[in-house]
Structure 1
Amino acid sequence: MLASAPKDHRLLPPAQAMAGAWLTIDRGVLADNYRHLDALSGDAECAAVIKADGYGLGAEQIAPTLYEAGAKTFFVAHLVEGIRLRPVVPEARIFVLHGFMPGCAKLLHEHNLIPALNDVAQVREWAALGADHGQALPCAVQVDSGMSRFGLSAEDIAEEGLFDGVAPCLVMSHLACADTPENPANAAQRQNFLAMAEYFPGVPRSLAASSGIFLGPDYHFELVRPGAALYGVAPNDDTPSLGQVARLMARITQIRTVPAGGRIGYGLTWEAQRPTRVATLGIGYADGFFRAQAGSAAVWYGEQRLPLLGRVSMDSISVDLTNAPVDLEPGDVVTVLGAQQSVDALAASGKTIGYEILTSLGARFYRVYL
Structure 2
Amino acid sequence: MRIAEPPRSLRLTIDREALAENWRTLDTLSGDAATGAAVKADAYGIGVDIAVPTLRDAGCRQFFLAHWSEVPAVLAHVEADAVSILHGVRNAEEAAFAKGTGAVPVINSPRQAAIWRDAGGGTCHVMVDSGMNRLGMSLADLGDPVVQSLQVDALMSHLASADEDTAQNADQLAVFRKAVPLLAAKRLSLSNSAGIALGADFNIDLTRPGLALYGGIPHPALRGKIRQVAFPQAAIIQTRDLSPGDKVGYNAKWIAERPTRAGTVSLGYADGFMRLMGQGSALHFGEHELPILGRVSMDMVVVDLGESGAGEGDFLDVPFDLPDLAARSGLSQYEILTGLGRRFERF
Query: TM-score, structure 2 length as denominator?
Result: 0.93
| Corresponding position of 1:345 | 324
Q: CA deviation at 1:201?
A: 4.4
Q: In structure 2, which of residues 14, 26, 40 is the aligned counterpart of residue 51 of structure 1?
A: 40
Name 1:9's counterpart in structure 2: none
Kept after mapping to 2: 8 A contact 1:256/1:278? yes
Q: Is 56-65 or 220-229 further displaced after alignment? A: 56-65
Asked whether 1:122 is paired with 2:105, we answer no
Structure 1 ranges of 4+ moved more than 4 A:
none
Q: Does 1:26 align with 2:15?
A: yes
Counterpart contact for 1:286–1:314, Cα < 8 Å: yes
In structure 1, what is the Cα distance between the partners aligned to 2:118 and 2:221?
A: 47
1:150 corresponds in structure 2 to: 135
2:308 matches 1:313? no
| Corresponding residue for residue 37 of structure 1 | 26
Is 1:361 aligned to residue 316 of structure 2? no
- Asked if structure 1 preserves the Cα contact closer than 8 Å seen for 2:155 and 2:185, the reply is no
Q: Is 2:271–2:339's contact at 8 Å kept on the other side of the alignment? A: yes
- State the 1:119 CA deviation: 1.1
Gap regions ≥5 residues in structure 1: 1-13, 131-135
Q: TM-score, normalised by structure 1?
A: 0.88
Residue of structure 2 in register with 1:170 after alignment: 154
User: Which residue identity is paired with 2:181?
Assistant: E
The whole-number CA distance in structure 2 between the counterparts of 1:238 and 1:91 is 34
Question: Is 1:330 equivalent to 2:312 in the alignment?
Answer: yes
CA contact (8 A) 1:128 1:165 kept: no
Work out which of the residue numbers 209, 212, 217 in structure 2 matches 1:226: 209
Shift, 1:20, TM fit: 1.4
Measured in 1, the distance between the counterparts of 2:202 and 2:276 equals 35
Q: Deviations over 1:250-290 (max 9, x none)?
A: 11112222211211001111112222221111111111111
Match of 1:192 in 2: 175
Structure 2 distance, partners of 1:356, 1:234, is: 13
Task: Provide the identity percentage.
Answer: 40
- SS for the counterpart of 1:352 is coil
Judged with a 3 Å threshold, the aligned counterparts in structure 2 of structure 1 residues 202 and 102 are, in CA distance, closer, same or farther, namely closer
CA RMSD across the alignment: 1.8
Distance 1:75 1:61 in 2: 16
SS, match of residue 236 in structure 2: strand
Cα distance, 1:91–1:79 mapped onto 2, change above 3 Å: closer
Which stretches in structure 2 are left out of the alignment for 5+ residues? none
Residue of 68, 71, 75 corresponding to 2:60? 71
Please tell me whether residue 246 in structure 1 is matched to residue 246 in structure 2. Answer: no
Mapped contact 1:297–1:346 kept (Cα < 8 A): no
Alignment partner of 2:98 out of 108, 121, 131? 108
8 Å Cα contact 1:78/1:96 also seen in 2: yes
* Cα distance between partner residues in 2 of 1:267 and 1:171: 53
What SS class does the counterpart of residue 235 from structure 1 fall into?
coil
State the secondary structure of the residue aligned to 1:154. Answer: coil
Q: Match for residue 140 of structure 1? A: 125
Give 1:147 shift: 0.3
The whole-number CA distance in structure 1 between the counterparts of 2:75 and 2:88 is: 16
What SS is found at the alignment partner of 1:148?
coil
Distance 1:253 1:119, change over 3 A: same
Match in the other structure for 1:286: 270
Separation in structure 1 between the aligned mates of residue 86 and residue 35 of structure 2, nearest angstrom: 16
